[in-house]
């Protein structure tokens, strides 16, 4: 699961990884038809990275992913 900080936490006090998780959660909850992800693995810890991989594997729409992380690209 993409663990997000408590909902009342101000975004300006979050770390880069926490901000990225919040943005990914928000995006996935909108259930889009298309995902355009530019370097989505930046600032993510291993557990969040695995959750993102699982979310992309389950995603029924089209995903365009731009990344230098070849291992991640091979997995999704």
Please answer whether residues 24 and 47 qualify as being in contact, where contact means their C-beta atoms are separated by less than 8 angstroms. Answer: no
Alpha helices in 5-69 (DSSP H): 16-29, 46-58
Coil, strand, or helix at residue 14? coil
Task: Give me the number of domains the chain comprises.
Answer: 1
Give the residue-averaged pLDDT of 13-39. Answer: 88
Residue 60 pLDDT > 90, yes or no? yes
Domain of residue 33, CATH code = 3.40.50.300
Report the distance separating Cα 65 and Cα 72, nearest Å. 10
Is 18 part of any domain?
Answer: yes
Is 32 part of any domain?
Answer: yes
Give the residue-averaged pLDDT of 48-68. Answer: 93
Whole-prediction pTM: 0.77
Split at pLDDT 50, 70, 90, the class of 1 is low
Could you list the residue range(s) of the whole structural domain that residue 71 is in?
11-75
Report the distance separating Cα 26 and Cα 4, nearest Å. 10
Is 4 part of any domain?
Answer: no
């Amino acid at each position: 699961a993409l663990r997000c900080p408590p909902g009342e936490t101000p975004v300006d006090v979050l770390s880069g990884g926490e901000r990225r998780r919040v943005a990914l959660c928000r995006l996935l909850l909108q259930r889009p038809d298309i995902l355009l992800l530019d370097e989505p693995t930046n600032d993510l810890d291993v557990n969040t990275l695995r959750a993102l991989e699982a979310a992309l594997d389950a995603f029924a729409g089209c995903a365009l992913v731009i990344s230098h992380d070849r291992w991640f690209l091979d997995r999704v």
